Amino acid sequence: MTVRRTRVIDKWRWLVAGARRLAAAVPVLGLLVGVPVAPAAVGVAGRALACDQPGVPAAGVPWPQRMLGFERVRPVADGTGVVVAVIDTGVDASHPQLRDRVLTGVDLLTGLPGGNHACDTHGTNVAGIIAAAPTVDGVSGVAPGARILPVLVADRTASLSGSAEADPELLAAGIDWARQFGVDIINISMSFYNDNALVRNAVARAQAEGIVIVAAAGNEGGADSPNPTPYPAAYPGVIGVGAIDQSGLRDPDSGHGPYVDLVAPGVDVTVLQRGGGTWVVSGSSFAAAFVSGTVALLLSRWPDLTPEQVGQRLQATATPAAGPKDGYGAGVLSPYHAVTDQWTEASARPLPGLPSYAPPSPPSDAAARRAGLAAGVAVVAAVAVLAGAALVPRGRRRRWRPGLAPPRATSTLDDRVRPPVRLFSDLE
């Protein structure tokens, strides 16, 4: 992380400390800066929201962790020193596996600090995939050493599943805010389906400062859906991520097109739930989070990688998938290979070409008949030669006279008829 980014983060930490001191006297400020709020319904700036309820304990190690094996990378890199902005619905900083991992962000719906609280669980789901503290037999984040900066731009009225468009203006403001804060990675697990100049320009400004942007491919790719182009995943330089299931097949609802750079688990994924516990969810939103966590691993080992180099490494080390490129991109995310494979700047050398070879043309019918006749004559001649080799010597020995049959053998036994012979005398 650069010196500029470190100074900006330190400034925000100082502001957070002061806000937390005020929170003891002003309960509303406690909500805005991330102090846990007990009620299940929260009102912020006149918005009354019915918040998502806590989840359940994790039932073993989730399948994406077993498939990706990102815990094998931790002896090399764990995301330490990397800040990931999660532009979403806010993050529950009080979740046990996210404590001390969530910075104070901003709630752009109100314009006040406090993105590290959440009513909708979506942002917490995403943040947990990226940086949740590891447990012995449960959910673990890809890069538990990374820090999450929540940027709240949506509540339960905004779609994060791709079934409706997110607000491009708030999204653009969130990208700019995260850029000014000095983050290393921006995760955008939401989509809209019309090119927007505000978002396009905000993405370009962030990329110009070396920030890696990862975005979901949306969930409108099903047979009964129009598969519209998702933004910001389709913008140049953005790492677009599609979703696969446990068998490695693309989620039928996941967006597919040239904007898909690679795929990651996104079906029946176990995630952290707002208020504690876990839940099981599906969608390209969560596939994008796995990629953002892997980018955090990369940048914690090689902080000087450019966004272009990060994208190249992710695609070069992906596991090839048996499917069309517009659905799977370069293949399935491989955190271990992305972090541990050697990198070279040398240009690829082309392999020598194979010698030209022209197969013989098939013979005509007449030529085939002549060839068959010649082969038959050759076989007959060979049989005649062999027969001659066996018979001629015998004919010469007999002087070419026919041989006589050998005489009949005579028996030496007396075959004259004789009377019966009594073998035993009568006993008296």
CB 283 within 8 A of CB 266: yes
For residue 24, how many other CB atoms are within 10 A of its CB?
Answer: 10
DSSP result, 299-312:
HHH-TT--HHHHHH
Q: Which of 302, 280, 278, 284 is nearest to 242 (CA)?
A: 284
Q: Other CB atoms closer than 10 Å to residue 205's CB: what's the count?
A: 15
- Mark whether 122 is an active-site residue: yes
Tell me if 44 sits within 8 A of 109, measured CB to CB.
yes
Could you tell me if residue 78 is left (phi over 0), alpha (psi between -120 and 50 degrees) or otherwise beta?
alpha
Catalytic residue among 52, 78, 88, 253: 88
Query: Any idea what DSSP says for residue 192?
Result: B
E strands within 80-196? 83-88, 106-107, 112-113, 147-152, 185-188
Contact, 296 vs 143, CB < 8 A?
yes
Residue 240: in which H helix or E strand, if any? Answer: strand 239-244
- List the catalytic residue out of 254, 285, 292, 334: 285
Closest CA to 130 of 200, 189, 179: 189
Catalytic one of 94, 122, 191, 300: 122
End-to-end CA distance of the chain: 134
285 as an active site residue: the answer is yes
Q: Which residue has the tokens 């491989």?
A: 334
The catalytic residue positions are 88, 122, 285
